[in-house]
Each structure stands twice: as structure tokens, then as C-alpha cells.
Amino acid sequence: MIKVDKIAYSYPVKFLLRKQRPRVFWNFSLTLEENKIYGLLGKNGTGKSTLLYLLAGLNAARQGKIFVDDVDVTKRETETLSKIFIVTEEFELPNISLDRYVKLNRPFYPDFSDEVLQRCLHDFELDKIDDLSSLSLGTKKKVYMSFALATNTKYLFMDEPTNGLDLESKSIFRKVVAQNMTDDRTIVISTHQVHDVEQLLDHVLILGDNKLLMYKSIADISDEYVFEYRDASNMSGVIYSEPSLQGNAAIAKRNGRSAETQVNLELLYNAVNAGKL
């Protein structure tokens, strides 16, 4: 379990004349449980990437604590760090072969699996790679995410993982993540591309203005709301709607007679940010 306990964090001051640091989190708390895939959503500047860096111990809160399995992550203990892997939105890979990269980095992750790595590479249709630095952005992402999944860390954080991937690769990404989810693993995916990941998620976290606007399971959302298209003459009970080519995309309270519908994550996100949910 990860427990975020009343943290405060501000961006570093870049200019001496600036009197105040831009505050991202204040008295912010959160609990993340095992065997869950969380979708972390929010507008630009709400701290999605910053939160991942804090959870991974790459940044330190100004106040409060973050505990990973009851250990303060800022202590950067070897056992704790071996449980965590973060795929940042932007990264560089060195001018070496993939085999060499694996040999250098696998000792940091005691549960590393060559089988998982080869299976992911095969699913992404990647062969032997002699120079990681020469790869395109999309191919680098596929290689790096394959390595990330192969580490078998208990906690895996991904920041905009589908950026740079084509449609087929996005589908494969969902497949390899689902295949390598385990009962004791926690995955947090920060993204703006909600349709790329909505089939993977079982919990939704929506950040906004230094607080959680929503923290709910997909199951609870499905129990509480229906997501459907309606024409203008049938808007009774609608909480939030947007025009679309199929009619009005709408969210309404679910009653006992309503069939369960698939969650439209983009519509849900817009409704929450509009203050309707």
C-alpha cells in the first residue's frame, strides 16, 4: 500500500525576485491499494507528473510523508526502490544494445523476468536492438515499457505512456499491461489520452486545484451513473451532456431499472471539471 499523508509541495523558485513558490499540493492525502490500476487525470498544471515523481521518491514533499509499504519513500532505501519503476513522459536511452541495457539494470530489480521482457517485445513486434539511442520515439517507448513490465516491480507508474504510439501499438500496450498485472501490483497511469487506457482502469483519480475532485472505482461509477446518447427530446434526469455526432452524450443517475453502461471516461472527466459530479 502507498499512503500519502498530508503532503505539501511547491515548484522550485527559478527567479530570485519571485516572492512565492507555485504551490501544487497542500495538506494532500491519498491511499493507493494493491491489485489496482489507477487512471490519474487532470488539467495541465494540476500536478499529475509531480505526484508520480513524489510517489517514486524522485521529489521530496516540503511537508508530510509518503509511505511505501510503511517506509518513508524519501529515505530511498534499496529494498523500497527495488519495488518501484516509473516510466516518465520524456526519457533518453543510451547508445548501447538492449541486451547490454538489461544486463546493467536488471540487478536493481530482484524479480526481473526475461520471459516477460521477451513476450512484451514479441507482442510489440520488436527484434534484436543494437542501439537504443537511434530508435524512434514510439519504438523507444515500446522498448522502455517492455523493460518496465519485466522488472515485475510492485509499483509501476507511467506518465503519458501512449504518447508517440500508433493505434495498433496502443492496442498492444493495453494487452501487455493487462497480461502482466498481478494480484500484488499497483499501476498508476497519468494521461490525457483517456480513450487509450479506459478499458484498463479499475479506479479513477481526478486532480484539480490542490485536491482530489474524484476518487472512485469504475464499478462504483457504473453502479451510480449511466452513460448514453440521447436526443434533445429525452434529456430528463441528465446531469451533464455534450453534443456529438451520435446525439447528446449524456450522464444520468442510474436507477434500479437502468442497465449498466460502459463508462465514458472523457465525458466523466469533463463533467467533474464542470462541477456537475
Taken in order of first residue, the domains within the chain and their CATH numbers are: 2-12+21-209 (3.40.50.300), 220-273 (no CATH)
- Which pLDDT value is given to residue 16? 47
Section 127-140 average pLDDT: 94
Cβ–Cβ under 8 Å, residues 52 and 159: yes
CA 81 → CA 5, 57, 71, 107, 155, distances in Å? 19, 8, 11, 12, 10
Lowest-confidence region among 104-113, 226-235, 267-276:
226-235
Hey, CA dihedral for 198, 204, 208, 210, is it positive or negative? negative
Nearest-10 crossing angle of helices 167-179, 137-150: 10
* Strand 155-159 to 84-87 pairing: parallel
- Which pLDDT value is given to residue 19? 57
Cβ–Cβ under 8 Å, residues 11 and 56: no
Residue 87 confidence (pLDDT) above 70: yes
Q: pLDDT tens digit string along 42-84?
A: 998 899 999 999 999 999 999 999 999 999 999 999 999 999 9
Percent of the chain with pLDDT over 70: 96
Structure-block grid coordinates of residue 239: 446531469
248 CB neighbour count, 10 Å cutoff: 16
> What is residue 118's three-state secondary structure?
helix
Hey, CA dihedral for 132, 135, 141, 145, is it positive or negative? negative
Angstrom distance (rounded) from CA 3 to CA 156:
15
* pTM recorded for the entire structure: 0.92
